[in-house]
Amino acid sequence: MTDFSPGFRGRAHAFEGRLPPGQYPTESFPVLSAGPTPHLATDRWSFTVTDERGGSRSWNWDEMMALPQEHPVVDIHCVTRWSKFDTRWQGVSLDVLLDGVDTAADFLVAESYDGYTTNLPLEDVTGGKAWVAHSFDGFALSPEHGGPARLLVPHLYFWKSAKWVKGVRLTDRNEPGFWEAAGYHDYGDPWREQRTWSD
Ligand SMILES: Nc1nc2c(c(=O)[nH]1)N[C@H]1C(S)=C(S)[C@@H](COP(=O)(O)O)O[C@H]1N2
Ligand SMILES: [Mo]
């Protein structure tokens, strides 16, 4: 009855079970930023992990590039309802950056160069689930999408993937970030449609 092209049928089949409720697939890559795009030079960029007692460690750009690199291929889901399959990134696992950090904290706040913040449970950025990503589709991550580097936490709605990331701050208590304080869900699981406080 329905005259799908073989290509479409093939893709639809490949993505079966990968589209969370209320989402639609897109091949474009929309840009969503709360403010203007900062343009940051890599030679002035650094990433800092701060523990709940204020102790910290930092990596400059060259040090970050010298860490073990991973190439995650993941689906991403924006709360504005687009999903994009098989996005290809390069970056450093948060496991590497948090390795050896002496902490009893259960949460962290990702902080960005534009002042944006977003909160996450520590266990959602460890165990191979999150990266500081600096390349997309084989090219340096563009400023619009968070370059030089952004957080990538693909199993949660994409607002958790802080662009222009400057560091993560471990916290004993859960501190709502920018959108979480403005009515977005605290956790943001796309499979449970946790879009807003009332979800
Ligand atoms: N620093 C910063 N990170 C941010 C944002 C922002 O405004 N500032 N927007 C968030 C939101 S709401 C989304 S949906 C994604 C969008 O990423 P994209 O523009 O690469 O699609 O970035 C997230 N990270
Ligand atoms: Mo968003």
pLDDT given for residue 40 in this prediction:
98
Mean of per-residue pLDDT scores for the chain: 94
Asked, for residue 150, whether it belongs to a domain, the answer is yes
pLDDT grade, residue 10 (50/70/90)?
A: low
Domain count, the chain: 1
Q: In angstroms, rounded to a whole number, what is the distance separating the alpha carbons of residues 82 and 70? A: 25
Q: In angstroms, rounded to a whole number, what is the distance separating the alpha carbons of residues 132 and 151? A: 5
Longest Cα–Cα distance of the chain, Å, equals: 64
pLDDT given for residue 5 in this prediction:
47
Asked, for residue 164, whether it belongs to a domain, the answer is yes
Asked, for residue 35, whether it belongs to a domain, the answer is no
pLDDT in tens, 113-137: 999 999 999 999 999 999 999 999 9
Work out which ligand 1 atom sits closest to the CA atom of 116.
1
How much of the chain exceeds pLDDT 70, in percent? Answer: 93
The domain spanning residue 83 has which CATH number? 3.90.420.10
Work out which ligand 1 atom sits closest to the CA atom of 164.
1
Q: Are 12 and 5 in contact (CB under 8 A)?
A: no
Q: In angstroms, rounded to a whole number, what is the distance separating the alpha carbons of residues 125 and 152? A: 9
pLDDT grade, residue 160 (50/70/90)?
A: very high
Asked, for residue 52, whether it belongs to a domain, the answer is yes
Q: Are 70 and 91 in contact (CB under 8 A)?
A: yes
Asked, for residue 1, whether it belongs to a domain, the answer is no
Instruction: Give 56 Cα–ligand 2 centroid separation in angstroms.
Output: 29
Instruction: Give 52 Cα–ligand 1 centroid separation in angstroms.
Output: 26
Instruction: Give 163 Cα–ligand 1 centroid separation in angstroms.
Output: 6
pLDDT grade, residue 3 (50/70/90)?
A: very low
Asked, for residue 7, whether it belongs to a domain, the answer is no
pLDDT in tens, 60-81: 999 999 999 999 999 999 999 9
Asked, for residue 75, whether it belongs to a domain, the answer is yes
Q: In angstroms, rounded to a whole number, what is the distance separating the alpha carbons of residues 159 and 37? A: 15
163: containing domain: 20-27+44-192
Predicted structure pTM score: 0.94
pLDDT in tens, 77-94: 999 999 999 999 999 999
Q: Whose CA is nearest to atom 13 of ligand 1?
A: 159
pLDDT in tens, 31-64: 999 999 999 999 999 999 999 999 999 999 999 9
Give the three-state DSSP class for 199: coil
Following DSSP, what letter does each residue of 68-112 receive, concatenated?
PPB--EEEEE-TTSEEEEEEEEEEEEHHHHHTT-----SEEEEEE
User: Which residues, judged by CB distance below 6 Å to any ligand atom, belong to the binding site of ligand 1?
Assistant: 30-34, 78, 112, 114, 116, 145-146, 158-159, 161-164
Asked, for residue 181, whether it belongs to a domain, the answer is yes
Work out which ligand 1 atom sits closest to the CA atom of 114.
1
pLDDT at 11 over 70: no
